[in-house]
């Protein structure tokens, strides 16, 4: 009954402060009337009396509304589960401030009692057996889970869909069975957590959810809808339905084959362009006037940049389709960083920039996928060059942070990024309107970099101030930590996937 005591305390505090406020206001008004008006004491007293009465009425109304709110919420919950209540809304648990715990507990009891007595908020038929046979015969996979995510019911279509017999599904925890991946952070699990914390009933739907079937390599892709009703002791807390679109989404996946082909076709002329530009640069060096030599450097840098962009397109497709795998090997970080910086030097020079290094001398070796991590450095440096504005300097720093991770940053002193758009910066295709208008590109680089760094168990972040420049930083594990992992699992190589998909995280809730 602690929750009841809490309610008492809240009401006492509220009333105490209200009385304190009224008294202060009356005293202040009295003092003002006596000192700053020339009214006779009789009239002053009459005014003060009337003022006190009005104030008392207003506060009484406010206190009544406040104190009776919990009763109103409970009444609303009862109305919600009452038969024939029509569209009576469920109480909004987010808005309850007074006696939150007591009210939510009482409402939960009401919903449980309602489900025990067979009264259902969503009931459309009075014949339970008819409802059950309809659910069993429904050609769409349907699954019912309880509050502990134990599967309480799965119809025939669902068992077929999961390729499992009923005894392997029913009364089992859903997480080992349903390896779901979502396109955004809005997963089934994040929704369930919100529902369990603050909702009586709710519905939600998700597009393009991916399910990996446990016994083989096949996967399904579907749209999913779920309905939640709190506290049903019969177990039917959440009903989930799958709308299979595996074939349709697989067609989209074939896009990868197309992109790979397009990339091949783009690269051939690019190889030639780079080759012939190099011939010109070599053989006409000294014969061309400086302006033409400058043009030649710009052509060369642009061709190199195009080669990098072509790689980005393909890799973003791979991240999207979960086909970008990383092989982590031991690499000298200082060497890799300097190699990437040196490769970008020409491009930097063409834009009038210089790349400076501030590499701590004690950098350990790191466990990275050489090709992918090079792309991260390439993209961050490319951004720094693009967004440097009139400033010339770009600094690459790398140090070991307090938790032993290797932290690397690329700093420019250019246009900077408005605070309002910082949170979206690592989204796919995200570019703010100003940079879109001023600078070419597609906004793939940061999205790809984040996917690659995450797959390395690292983090990537940005600090920026408009007009002063930006610093993009990322952290990587030293190889020693990965070597420990290798030793434990007895593997000879570490292979990771870079994912554009978000796992239904709560495997740990099993």
Partner 1 sequence: MIDDTATANPTPKRVLCIEDEHFIGELYARALTKAGYKVTVELDGQKGLQAAQTNQFDIILLDIMVPTMTGIEVLRHLRDPSETPELAAKVIITTNLDEDKETRASIEAQADGYIIKAEITPKELVSILQKL
Q: Binding residues for partner 1, per CB under 8 A?
A: 260, 263-264, 266-268, 270-272, 274-279, 282, 307, 310-311, 314, 318, 323, 325, 327
Q: CA 38 to CA 50: how far, in whole Å?
A: 18
User: Which residue, 274 or 397, has its beta carbon nearer to partner 1?
Assistant: 274
Q: Least distance in Å: CB of 277 to partner 1?
A: 8
Closest separation in Å from C-beta 270 to partner 1? 4
SS3 category, 244: strand
Q: Which lies closer to partner 1 via its Cβ, residue 276 or residue 357?
A: 276
CB-nearer residue toward partner 1: 25 or 260: 260
Radius of gyration for the chain, computed over Cα atoms and rounded to the nearest angstrom: 33
Torsion angle, CA of 31/33/38/39, rounded to 10 degrees?
A: -130
Cα gap 197→191, rounded to integer Å: 10
Rounded to a whole number of angstroms, the minimum distance from the CB of residue 379 to partner 1 is: 15
Report the C-alpha gap between 207 and 256 in whole angstroms.
20
Question: Can you tell me the distance from the alpha carbon of 226 to that of 237, in angstroms, rounded to the nearest whole number?
Answer: 10
Nearer to partner 1, 217 or 282 (CB): 282
Residue 334, both tokens: 């200082």
Question: Do the Cβ atoms of 225 and 135 come closer than 8 Å?
Answer: no
Identity of the residue, 363 or 373, whose beta carbon is nearer to partner 1 in the bound complex? 373
Q: 3-state class of 88 per DSSP?
A: coil
Tokens of residue 476, six digits: 């990587």
Q: How far is the CB of 196 from partner 1 (least distance, A)?
A: 41
Closest CA to 426 of 408, 441, 448: 448
DSSP β-bridge partners for residue 473:
409, 461
Question: What's the min distance (Å) between Cβ of 334 and partner 1?
Answer: 20
* Residue nearer to partner 1 on the CB measure, 275 or 404: 275
For residue 268, count other CB atoms closer than 10 A to its CB.
9
The two three-digit tokens of residue 207, written as one number: 């597009």
Q: How far is the CB of 222 from partner 1 (least distance, A)?
A: 25
**C-alpha span between 277 and 269 (Å, rounded):** 12
DSSP state of 172: S
Rounded CA-CA distance 179/297 in Å is 51
Pick 66 or 280: Cβ nearer partner 1: 280
The residues near 130 (Cβ < 8 Å, ≥ 6 apart) are none
Smallest gap from residue 324 Cβ to partner 1 (A): 8
Nearer to partner 1, 318 or 431 (CB): 318
The least CB distance from residue 311 to partner 1, in Å, is 8
Q: Which two tokens stand for residue 314?
A: 């393909």
The nearer residue to partner 1, 150 or 263, going by C-beta atoms, is: 263
Q: Give min distance, CB of 315 to partner 1, in A.
A: 9
CB of 501 to partner 1, least distance (A): 18
Q: What is the 3-state composition of the chain as percent helix, strand, coil, each rounded to the nearest 5?
A: 55, 20, 25
Is the Cβ–Cβ distance between 439 and 386 less than 8 Å?
A: yes
The smaller minimum CB distance to partner 1, of residues 192 and 452, is found at 452
Cβ–Cβ contacts within 10 Å for residue 160, how many?
Answer: 12
Q: Would you tell me how many other CB atoms lie within 10 Å of the CB of residue 143?
A: 24
Decide: residue 378, CB within 10 A, 0-12 exposed, 13-18 middle, 19+ buried.
Answer: buried
The nearest distance, CB 256 to partner 1, in angstroms, is: 9
CA distance 352 to 349: 5
How far apart are CB 304 and partner 1 at their closest, in Å? 9
| Cα separation, 335 vs 343, whole angstroms | 12
393-400/354-359 β-pairing: parallel
Residue with Cβ nearer partner 1 (140 or 260) = 260
């Amino acid at each position: 009954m602690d929750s009841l005591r809490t309610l008492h305390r809240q009401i006492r505090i509220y009333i105490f402060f209200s009385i304190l406020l009224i008294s202060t206001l009356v005293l202040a008004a009295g003092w003002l009337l006596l000192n700053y008006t020339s009214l006779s004491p009789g009239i002053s007293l009459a005014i003060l009396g009337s003022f006190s009465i009005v104030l008392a009425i207003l506060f009484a109304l406010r206190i009544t509304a406040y104190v009776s709110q919990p009763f109103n919420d409970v009444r609303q919950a009862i109305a919600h589960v009452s038969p024939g209540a029509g569209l009576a809304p469920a109480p909004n648990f987010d808005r309850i401030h007074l006696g939150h715990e007591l009210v939510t507990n009482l409402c939960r009891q009401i919903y449980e009692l309602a489900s025990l007595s067979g009264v259902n908020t969503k009931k459309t038929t009075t014949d339970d057996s008819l409802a059950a046979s309809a659910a069993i015969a429904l050609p769409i996979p349907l699954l019912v889970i309880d509050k502990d995510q134990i599967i309480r019911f799965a119809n025939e279509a669902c068992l077929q869909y999961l390729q499992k017999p009923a005894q392997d599904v029913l009364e089992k925890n859903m997480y080992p069975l349903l390896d779901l991946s979502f396109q955004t952070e809005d997963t089934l699990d994040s929704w369930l957590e919100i529902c369990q914390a603050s909702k009586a009933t709710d519905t939600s739907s998700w597009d393009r959810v991916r399910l990996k079937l446990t016994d083989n390599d096949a996967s399904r892709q579907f749209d999913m809808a779920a309905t939640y009703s709190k506290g049903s002791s019969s177990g039917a807390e959440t009903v989930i339905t799958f709308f299979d679109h595996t074939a349709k989404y697989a067609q989209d996946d074939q896009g990868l084959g197309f992109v790979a082909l397009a990339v091949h076709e783009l690269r051939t002329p690019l190889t030639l362009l780079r080759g012939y530009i190099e011939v010109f640069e070599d053989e006409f060096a000294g014969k061309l006037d400086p302006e033409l030599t400058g043009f030649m450097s710009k052509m060369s840098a642009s061709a190199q940049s195009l080669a990098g962009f072509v790689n980005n397109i393909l890799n973003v497709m791979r991240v999207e389709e979960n086909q970008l795998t990383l092989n982590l090997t031991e690499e000298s970080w200082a060497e890799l960083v300097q190699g990437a910086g040196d490769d970008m030097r020409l491009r930097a020079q063409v834009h009038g920039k210089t790349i400076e290094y501030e590499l701590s001398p004690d950098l350990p070796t790191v466990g990275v996928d050489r090709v992918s991590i090079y792309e991260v450095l390439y993209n961050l440096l490319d951004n720094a060059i693009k967004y440097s504005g009139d400033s010339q300097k770009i600094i690459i720093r790398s140090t070991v942070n307090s938790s032993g991770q290797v932290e690397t940053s690329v700093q420019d002193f250019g246009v900077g990024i408005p605070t309002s758009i910082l949170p979206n910066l690592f989204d796919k295709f995200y570019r703010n309107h100003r940079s879109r208008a001023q600078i070419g590109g597609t906004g793939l680089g940061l999205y790809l970099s984040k996917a690659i760094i995450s797959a390395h168990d690292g983090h990537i972040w940005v600090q920026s101030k408009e007009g002063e420049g930006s610093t993009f930083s990322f952290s990587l594990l030293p190889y020693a930590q990965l070597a420990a992992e290798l030793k434990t699992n007895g593997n000879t190589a570490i292979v990771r996937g870079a994912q554009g998909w978000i796992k239904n995280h709560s495997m740990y809730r099993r």
